[in-house]
Amino acid sequence: MRVISGEKKGLSIKAVPGVSTRPTTDKVKESIFNMIGPYFNGGLALDLYAGSGGLGIESLSRGVEKVIFVDQDRKAVQTIKENLKQCGLSEQGEVYRNDSDRALKALIKRELAFSLIFLDPPYAKQKLSSDISIISDHGLLEKEGMIVCEHDAKVEMPDKINELTLIRAETYGDTTITIFEYDKD
């Protein structure tokens, strides 16, 4: 795996050891950033089911100012820290070991709002609609922000979750990328 574009283009990043995480392929990662960017002028991002941290690190390389990485797997958290260090991005990342529900509650308490949120949960345990609902209810997404979901192609996402609308969905093999943002009205 590698950083595809931006300031850190070409740097290698490690996958999480073992089979507990499924890294986003470079092809899918490139497609995601072609849909949402490809480059950013600052902003705060959340990589909620971060795995190796590949999506958050890619967004930092492309101009996002800071990323909060969350994963409940100890090996994943260690891998994210190593990847941030390898890319010279440790100062721009906060890394936490937590489950998604507790992490969202902690972020609500901090009164943070993100310009970009990545949700790439384990396919067997995905609860994307619930996560998006919590994000919407508690103002964790800026009004101009986007939520990028990576999920099994068999999972059908609703067109609307609270104030958020599905604006685009693309399928790559067994993976679908779904993007939500606030209604423009």
CA distance 180 to 144: 11
Q: What is the mean pLDDT of residues 6-18?
A: 93
For residue 23, what pLDDT is reported?
Answer: 76
Query: Pick the residue with more confidence: 49 or 25?
Result: 49
Residue from 63, 70, 59 nearest 30 by CA? 59
Domain 26-182 has CATH 3.10.105.10: no
For residue 32, the number of C-alpha atoms closer than 13 Å in the C-beta half-sphere is: 31
Q: With cut-offs at 50, 70 and 90, classify the pLDDT of residue 185.
A: low
Condensed to tens digits (0 to 9), the pLDDT of residues 119-150 reads 999 877 789 999 999 999 999 999 999 999 99
The residues spanned by each domain of the chain are 26-182
What angle, 0 to 180 degrees and rounded to 10, lies between the N-to-C axes of helices 100-109 and 128-137? 10
What angle, 0 to 180 degrees and rounded to 10, lies between the N-to-C axes of helices 54-61 and 74-86? 20
pTM value is 0.95
∠ CA 157-34-135 to the nearest 5 degrees? 40
For residue 123, what pLDDT is reported?
Answer: 76
